[in-house]
Structure 1
């Protein structure tokens, strides 16, 4: 079992498992896997956890997860097990429990007989056979179905799914996004579309969302056989009232439903996939807006979805932001806008779906009726909450993402626009109906931010004046605090000559166990901003350290086994000099528990021998960094060459207190600078927007 499976087994985080490995010599040694992702013997891990009291009672899902890992993993085997899950979900629990107690040979025969009628519905399950030697696996599977339900059992199968891939560009759509996409299909007062198609269905999340809202015919296709089998099983179990059809194959080159005319389409196409068939499909009739360039696979998927729509039918696609503005796709975008097929583009907050470092978009399309009047405008929505900050926040910190508010804003704007497209009242900073003629410029840029944020935001003069007055008051208070910190005790000279002392290199301190030097693993998680409400530890990036802001990077669901978890008192130093300068960060309680990002050195001092603030202050000294750095264009720091004075701990703490005071001074200066910028921008916007008048020649007393 992997470290991720150990964390699930013990009910702890991956970081805890990593710490166990480093701190406990008796932790089981790897028995397989690779150096970056070792595997461990299940029984040895169970015994170690039990001895420490860390082994909770196992659940049927845990037992099934372990049994699946130990069993064969070929497509036919997994598809056959999925068929049994579907079959068992259709019979009473009492019959399932009776089957669990059957002898091995009768157990396998019962499973085969029970599943046979469902094999045609699950791709890859044509040659359905169960052997007596599989009886224990079948019992474990049936026990999970009986005690935790068929839907939960299918989730266990999906845990090992490899459909989410940065190489293939295919990612699983989060349920929150799938629900929003499904809600956008139905117009105000209209019945929900009955026939819904997803040509890149993955494990069926979008089709399930449509079924939950009333769709009764579901069509899906996926290129990965096991993923398609999982989609078919999930639809059979969770959308039993709908009639589902899931096929395996390449939708671009081998459309499994060539004659399908759907009422609606939901799709999250793979991103940036260059081998989609550009050379083979040059004259395909689907390209009504023109042949997409090789690097614009998303525009090919878009036209494929439209080709399967009935006139008046709608499609919602989850698209990367580059599709809205890349020059290579300009001609296709122009024809699409000109034809009236594009109805809306909704920008989602960053971090809502993979890949987490970009803000994806929802494109709402409609196949125009041949005789219908073409729409005169396209709705552009920039959902709130994507990147908001306030003057009270730490520099660079994102406010917690309010997804319900962002979702409600998108739905409200679309329903209002759909009801009255020619009389849509713009929502300042959120939504605007952009005339088609304004989109058909040289760039044909469909990015919502470009059109929504460029719209002047009307403000009442009295309200803006009050806001400016409050900002100026806060700026004055911040400036007073800055002056207070910069004053205080005098910094007296050391004497006629500078003070000198014996020093040791970091390398010497490492050998003497006064320090521990740690680095993040090479395969590190994304440094994209994370949703602040998430319980998953975030990643501290080099930019966070330089900007003196909290950890902002997102953590992967399956991080490396060599993660470095930050502790209070750690000293963190960027690997590279930025414009010839650097800074050292002393981790506090708010940093503890987060993960160390790339391009950072973490030095963990022995608190009985080194004061962390003293250490940080001397590590970041300019002359010290210059002596320990190398390179021209990219200047890297060798932390082992940095030197630290050898002083008694009491004297270190005296210096540490001074360095802490300088840090507080820098933080106060950051706050004052940010408030000054916000106050100046607010006052300038009031002047240029006509809401404020220039001040009198003589300032009034306040």
Structure 2
């Protein structure tokens, strides 16, 4: 039996945060297994040993994010030189791997001190890192190849590389996961290689792992970045079985990601059996058959060239898949690999739930009738990188006998928008799904009727599924009401709130209308506008002489610093509306990043923002409530110079920049290296700006501000009317909710 110092065990447990559903009474969120172990050591008096001291190198999620952000910042550009970002990520992965798995080699790297610290010595040190990492990989049965990647890096100085090595001393499993995200972003992966989102992998793993599980063999037949297997390992240990013997195996079609997956698993203390394979294991008759107790899979959806179902038809026990579709080939391949009592979680596209294909319908029928299908969970769209395709999780089992019941979970409305194109499932979302499934499993084991969870889950008997022609779409079984489960009191409160909002919006609109009536009586200044070229007292100055023009940060910088628990909004082009900024709620960064890395991109009242790329539209004025927000990547910030010789007022400049002729001027000077044009800071600084007197600027700005206020007031009033109408309709038609309920009326529909 191998033994470890208590300090190393505590350090390992410090990196494992206890999931909310496993927290003991009085344990707050964020408690780690290391915290729990220390308390128990204190209680038993065993913590007298110096080995039991807290681990100084443990890193929580926020610390890991900060560390990876530093390593992927300007330091990355200096060290990679002509190399690509993925080569630099491979360097960081190599260093984390060596620190954890080859301590002697790692200690040698930290001690390296050549007499000449030149770029040539830096490249020699890189070769040393690559050779040591490849040697360690070979000894563990993992495909080598890191040396080739690191050879492409061109560090500008030895000191920078040495700094990277020292920072990497704190790279643990959580930081390695963030490095995999960086790899995915820059590797140019295809849709069949994109990694599975963290929230989805954790949910799938928790759905398969039980506290009583022992001696498990866990497999992923189509590994991407190894994220499903690492989540499964974490789930086994989080369930209270840290010493459970685990056998982990997987097959991948991409050498580099397979290597990274093996390294990540080693950082979790697991030596996995990993193999290179194709995206169609049924077309590889010579490959040894692998069986497992738990299988997690995110297969390639209809990958070109993999749908040649060459197995004999008798080897498709649930029916031959149709040509051109691999969905049900993967399902049957997984079922064929499960040990007795085994279970699997497979991601499937939603079109497989109820497709019209005769062959797919036949396979669905056989899966249902033979008891191989345990549960279907539909997930929201936009969870995956660069695709909005919605997917579902299918829970399968090695069926010892026919089951009479299937659980359906409809989680399509869960999650929050992390960006304009990506949705994120929160911990509360995934915990709700896991609880719904575990509650059903417990009731089933006790032979108790399961009530389901209102609006989220419902059970269906075999007859129910037959009646729906073997549709597996949870929307056909889970009751959804128009009131989204709100009771009469909530609806009444909503109606009263909307009425108050409507009255307030009407008052604001009336004030704006009265102001506009006054403005329209004072339109003499229009003659000055139409005769602008005849007014010699209107000087003309380039915008760059009047204002500071700042382009927004790079998209990668925003991506590195954004956070789901951030509190400083990032202004996006879609937030510029009616020459004002609407409240952003999609991308946030933490206050420390806004004050640090992003400080130069903060906006202040009186700034004017305009779109830099894409369709150029009206500009927008920053007001006091937006003070301190962050400029988005595709925006430009125009800030009037703040000095005694200030020559332009923000309101006047906004009115000028909003003219159609000025928008056209910007469009014609936008360079288009792609289909989307982009105006440069230098070009915009050349924009000629006519300057009336200070009093004229003030009058013009005030009058156009009145127009804008009236536009906003009328839009707000229209929205308030719409909200009031919706609230009234929900109250009046509450009894009509049954029209959107599934026709199923048997037990298990929730209360």
TM-score past 0.5 threshold: yes
Matched, 1:491 2:519: yes
What is the CA distance between 1:688 and its match in structure 2? 1.9
| Structure 1 residues 660 and 200: alpha-carbon distance in aligned structure 2, compared to 1, 3 A threshold | farther
The structure whose residues are more often helix, as a share, is 2
2:573/2:611 contact within 8 Å kept: no
The 5 Å alignment of 1:469-618 reads: 469-488=496-515, 490-494=518-522, 499-501=527-529, 502-503=531-532, 513-514=545-546, 533-534=565-566, 538=570, 540-542=572-574, 545=577, 549-551=582-584, 567-568=603-604, 569-572=607-610, 583-588=618-623, 589=626, 592-597=629-634, 608-618=646-656
Does residue 344 of structure 1 match 2:375?
A: yes
Question: Paired residue for 1:317?
Answer: 346
Instruction: Show the 5 A alignment for 1:272-671.
Output: 272=301, 274-279=303-308, 281=310, 285=315, 288-292=318-322, 294=324, 296-297=325-326, 300-319=329-348, 331=361, 334-335=364-365, 338-339=368-369, 340-348=371-379, 353-355=383-385, 358=388, 360-382=390-412, 384-386=414-416, 403-420=426-443, 423-433=449-459, 437=464, 441=468, 444=471, 446=473, 451=478, 453=480, 457=484, 459-488=486-515, 490-494=518-522, 499-501=527-529, 502-503=531-532, 513-514=545-546, 533-534=565-566, 538=570, 540-542=572-574, 545=577, 549-551=582-584, 567-568=603-604, 569-572=607-610, 583-588=618-623, 589=626, 592-597=629-634, 608-620=646-658, 646-671=691-716
The 2-side partners of 1:146 and 1:627 are apart by 49
Partner of 2:734: 689
Structure-1 residue corresponding to 2:26 = none
Inter-CA distance 491–574: structure 2 relative to 1 (3 Å threshold): farther
Per-residue deviation, 1:149: 5.9
Alignment match of 2:221 (pick from 164, 180, 199): 199
Contact 2:71/2:164 (CA < 8 Å) preserved in 1? no
Contact map agreement 1:197 1:262 (CA 8 A) in 2: yes
Return the alpha-carbon distance in structure 1 between the equivalents of residues 587 and 351 of structure 2.
Answer: 21
**Secondary structure at 2:274's aligned position in 1?**
strand
**Equivalent residues of 1:482, 1:669 under 8 A apart:** yes
Deviation at 1:197, TM superposition (A): 0.9
Give yes or no for contact 1:185–1:192 (8 Å, CA) kept in 2.
no
Assess if the C-alpha contact under 8 Å between 2:219 and 2:249 holds in 1: yes
SS at match of 1:305: helix
CA deviation map 1:529-580 (0-9, x unaligned): x976457975623476479634466699xxxxxxx968452242698999xx
Flag the 1:575–1:647 CA change in 2: closer, same or farther, 3 A: farther
Contact 1:577 1:637 in 2 (8 A): no
Map 1:154-303 → 2, pairs under 5 A: 158=180, 161=183, 165=188, 167-186=190-209, 190-191=212-213, 194-214=216-236, 216-240=246-270, 243-253=271-281, 258-270=288-300, 272=301, 274-279=303-308, 281=310, 285=315, 288-292=318-322, 294=324, 296-297=325-326, 300-303=329-332
Equivalent position of 2:144 in the other structure: 125
| Cα gap change, 1:444 to 1:610, in 2 (>3 Å) | farther
Q: Which residue of 2 aligns with 1:11?
A: none
Cα distance change of structure 1 residues 233 and 642 upon mapping to structure 2, 3 Å threshold: closer
Instruction: Give the aligned partner of residue 22 of structure 1.
Output: none
How far does the alpha carbon of each residue in 1:605-654 deviate from its partner, in whole angstroms, 9 at most, with x for none? 66744434334335545798799999xxx9x9999999976522432233
Partner Cα distance (2:563, 2:92) in 1: 36
8 Å contact 2:251–2:275 — kept in the other structure? yes
C-alpha distance in 1, partners of 2:73/2:459? 51
CA distance in 1, matches of 2:146, 2:404: 52
Q: Figure out how many residues of one structure are paired with residues of the other and give that number.
A: 598
Which deviates more, 88-97 or 362-371?
Answer: 88-97
Q: Which has the larger displacement, 258-267 or 189-198?
A: 189-198
Separation (CA, whole Å) in 2 of partners of 1:576 and 1:152: 37
Partner of 2:47: none
SS at match of 2:249: strand
**Runs of at least 5 residues in structure 2 that lack an aligned partner in the other structure:** 1-66, 115-120, 237-243, 534-539, 590-599, 669-674, 738-751
RMSD across aligned C-alpha pairs, in angstroms?
6.0
Post-superposition offset of 1:183: 0.8
| Contact map agreement 2:110 2:165 (CA 8 A) in 1 | no
In the TM superposition, what whole-angstrom CA distance separates every residue of 1:34-59 from its partner, at most 9, and x where no partner exists?
Answer: xxxxxxxxxxxxxxxxxxxxxx9x99
Structure 1 length as normaliser, TM-score? 0.65
Could you tell which deviates more after superposition, 475-484 or 663-672? Answer: 663-672
Q: Is the 8 A contact 2:374 2:396 kept in 1?
A: yes
Cα deviation code 1:365-403 (max 9, x no counterpart): 213515222425533334544479xxxxxxx999x9782
* 8 Å CA contact 1:64, 1:156 repeated in 2: no
